[in-house]
Structure 1
Amino acid sequence: MKSLKLYGARDIRFEEAEKPQILDGKDVIVKIKACGICGSDISRYKKLGAVTPGQVWGHEFAGVVEQVGDQVTDLKVGDHVAGCPALIEEDDYYYRAGQPARANSLHAIGAKEPGGFAEYIKLPEKNLIKLPDDLDFDSASMIEPSTVVLHGYYRTNLSVGNDVVIVGAGGTIGLFAVQWAKIFGAKKVIAVDIDDEKLQIAQDLGADYTINSLKENVLVKVADYTDGMNADIVVEAAGTPTTASTVFGYAKKGGGVVFLGIPYADVAMERFYFEKILRSELTVWGSWSCVSAPFPGKEWATTVHFMHNNRLNTKKMITHRIPLEEGSEMFERLMERKELIGKVIMYPES
């Protein structure tokens, strides 16, 4: 079958891979219809390379059930599904305690086991979410990043009427954060990014104000937009050392910061920002993965519901649709940053 395999930093290859086979009664084989490039994929491609060199990569996908094991009860051939990429050993203490996102054994497909940049994938039945047949595969392949955001918001005390600042609002996670903040009932959503074109998309998706941090003083603008109070909730979605060390400055006294981005580097903080945590008595929430109990969690059912009812807009987020064989070239284009590239959807079928 066709696939994209990651061998090392900036080394991804379009190659043939062995088609998966049913080995366990709970196994399900899915024919992949659409798969997406994640922001974490871009960082790993650029900086870290493969967990397992030569592994089929990718973890965002949707497709159609092609074959099921003899112990599968809730899925049948022809069902439309999205994949939860979190693989966890069921005897893991945190999994058994109903805290799967904290499981020591948690890892994602595309690391040690084959991922979603391929024509087919095999997963346990519990990792597949049945979809309405009329939910398009492009949107369905983006359910996973939405669940990452929703998992993070569930960690916070976000409520109706709050003001929310989203740093790194132009990426997939940031754009979902904008939309979910509005669904949660946020009064003002302030989008922060370094790209005006992406900020325009954030505004189109519901952001009330936008700030280009390369051109404007974010501390001043956030205070202006919130009548000097700053935000109830700040979302760090950029995943850079700079943004991770400065987001505390945008939260109001008694507010909180939730971290969704992964810096992939050491984070150093000026005293001014660190003291914001103390002097403003901030709450800091770490958020990891996209799952809760009962596995895979309400993040998934909730996303499917709001996506199916057109409350989550994925169309404005997608800028490129390409065949899988052009994936290697696309990753290099993402490195060059010479053009606006938002969400990229790839299609294994020609």
Structure 2
Amino acid sequence: MRSLRLYGKQDMRFEEAEEPVIKNADDVIIRVKAVGICGSDISRFNKLGPYVEGTIFGHEFSGEVVEVGSNVENVKAGDRVAGCPAFNCGECESCRKGEPARCKKLHVMGAYHPGAYAEYAMLPAENVVPIPDNVDFDTAAMIEPSSVVVHGFYRTNMQPGAEVAVMGCGNIGLLAIQWAKIFGAKTVYAIDIDDAKLAIAKEVGADVVINSKEKAAHDQINELNGNHCVDVAIESAGSPITSAQVFALPKKGGQVVFMGIPYADINIVRSYFERIVRNELTVLGSWNAISAPFPGKEWSTSVHYMSTGQVNVKPIISHRLQLRQGPETFKKIINREESFGKVLFHPELG
């Protein structure tokens, strides 16, 4: 079968691989219809995060069940599904407490387990999420990043009528805008330095878009709402700069949720850091997309709101490509040769 395998730093190869074979009674083999590039894939490709040399890459995907093990009851051949790519050990303290996202050995397929940049992928039945007919495969391939976002919102104490700022309008930020509305936000401020991304943010539901390149976002928000600040600030850019600036956005007693991961040290100027103390902010980290019972309500909730159209990923998808275009596409992304939103591969196309 066609696949993308990672052999080393920036060494991804489009090549033939053996198709998965049922080995366990709970195995499910899925024909991959759509699989997306995640920011963590870019990092692993560029900097070599956890991986096994030659492992098939990728983890955000949807497809059709082709074969199941003897004990599988939740899906059957022909069913349309998405894959939850996370694996937790089930034995550490966090797992025993019903907190799988905090598992000490948490990892996703495409690292130590063959991934989804291939014509076929295999997962245990509990990782397979059925999707309704009105959720297309491209949309379903983004259930995983959607679940990452809603996992973060579940960590807040956000109430209907809240004002929310989303800092960074990449794929996660654009989903966060929509989830903020679902959670009852009265006003959502979308912040970025790229006007094209801000245009998409407006399309998916942002009430106010703010380009922070020339003037600090918190100053612009204060001018707009009378020095009121926001109830919840989402950091979704994963930038060292925004990871410091985000502390200036919430009001006294407000919350900051970190969904992005800055791959560099963060230097926080005193005026920003002091706000954590003086404004008694709650600072929350949010990791992965799973909870108990596994894989968690994040997944069923994402499927529901995608089926109603309240989570709309179509404006976020910028490229639909053949799998063979993978190596060149990854290099273009890290070299910033082209503007990319969410990139999806369709393995059946070649």
Q: TM-score range by the shorter chain?
A: over 0.9
Amino acid corresponding to residue 328 of structure 2 in structure 1: E
What are the equivalent positions in structure 2 for 1:2-41 lying under 5 Å apart?
2-41=2-41
| Matched residue, 1:109 | 109
Amino acid corresponding to residue 335 of structure 1 in structure 2: I
Superposed CA RMSD in Å reads 1.3
Amino acid corresponding to residue 58 of structure 1 in structure 2: G
Counterparts of 1:222 and 1:9, CA distance in 2: 41
| TM-score, scaled relative to structure 2 | 0.97
Amino acid corresponding to residue 216 of structure 2 in structure 1: N
Moved over 6 A (4+): none
Counterparts of 1:233 and 1:317, CA distance in 2: 23
Counterpart of 1:133 in 2: which secondary structure? coil
> Are residue 149 (structure 1) and residue 149 (structure 2) matched?
yes
Counterparts of 1:185 and 1:49, CA distance in 2: 37
Amino acid corresponding to residue 138 of structure 2 in structure 1: D
Once the two structures are TM-superposed, the CA of residue 339 in structure 1 deviates from its matched residue by: 3.2
For the 8 Å contact 2:88–2:106, the answer to whether it is kept is yes
Runs (5+) with no aligned partner, structure 2: none
CA deviation vs aligned residue, 1:106-157 (integer Å, no higher than 9, x gap): 1111011111111111110000101113321000000000000000000011
Amino acid corresponding to residue 260 of structure 2 in structure 1: G
What are the equivalent positions in structure 2 for 1:155-170 lying under 5 Å apart?
155-169=155-169
For the 8 Å contact 1:194–1:214, the answer to whether it is kept is yes
| Matched residue, 2:241 | 242
For the 8 Å contact 1:85–1:108, the answer to whether it is kept is yes
Counterpart of 2:7 in 1: which secondary structure? strand
Counterparts of 2:126 and 2:49, CA distance in 1: 29
> Are residue 82 (structure 1) and residue 82 (structure 2) matched?
yes
| TM-score, scaled relative to structure 1 | 0.97
Amino acid corresponding to residue 181 of structure 1 in structure 2: A
For the 8 Å contact 1:7–1:49, the answer to whether it is kept is no
CA deviation vs aligned residue, 1:172-207 (integer Å, no higher than 9, x gap): 100000001111111111111121101100011111
Report % sequence identity.
52
Once the two structures are TM-superposed, the CA of residue 49 in structure 1 deviates from its matched residue by: 5.1
| Matched residue, 1:198 | 197
Counterparts of 2:328 and 2:273, CA distance in 1: 41
| Matched residue, 2:70 | 70
What are the equivalent positions in structure 2 for 1:251-290 lying under 5 Å apart?
251-290=250-289
Runs (5+) with no aligned partner, structure 1: none
Counterparts of 2:60 and 2:341, CA distance in 1: 15
Counterpart of 1:349 in 2: which secondary structure? helix
| Matched residue, 2:61 | 61
Range that drifts further, 40-49 or 298-307: 40-49
What are the equivalent positions in structure 2 for 1:301-340 lying under 5 Å apart?
301-340=300-339
For the 8 Å contact 2:90–2:100, the answer to whether it is kept is no
For the 8 Å contact 1:9–1:49, the answer to whether it is kept is no
Amino acid corresponding to residue 128 of structure 1 in structure 2: V
For the 8 Å contact 1:8–1:50, the answer to whether it is kept is no
State how many pairs are aligned: 349
What are the equivalent positions in structure 2 for 1:115-130 lying under 5 Å apart?
115-130=115-130
Amino acid corresponding to residue 183 of structure 1 in structure 2: I
> Are residue 231 (structure 1) and residue 230 (structure 2) matched?
yes
| Matched residue, 1:176 | 175
> Are residue 99 (structure 1) and residue 104 (structure 2) matched?
no
Range that drifts further, 5-14 or 195-204: 5-14
Once the two structures are TM-superposed, the CA of residue 221 in structure 1 deviates from its matched residue by: 0.5
| Matched residue, 1:343 | 342
Counterparts of 1:56 and 1:312, CA distance in 2: 29
Counterparts of 1:157 and 1:102, CA distance in 2: 20
Counterparts of 1:69 and 1:106, CA distance in 2: 24
Once the two structures are TM-superposed, the CA of residue 314 in structure 1 deviates from its matched residue by: 1.0
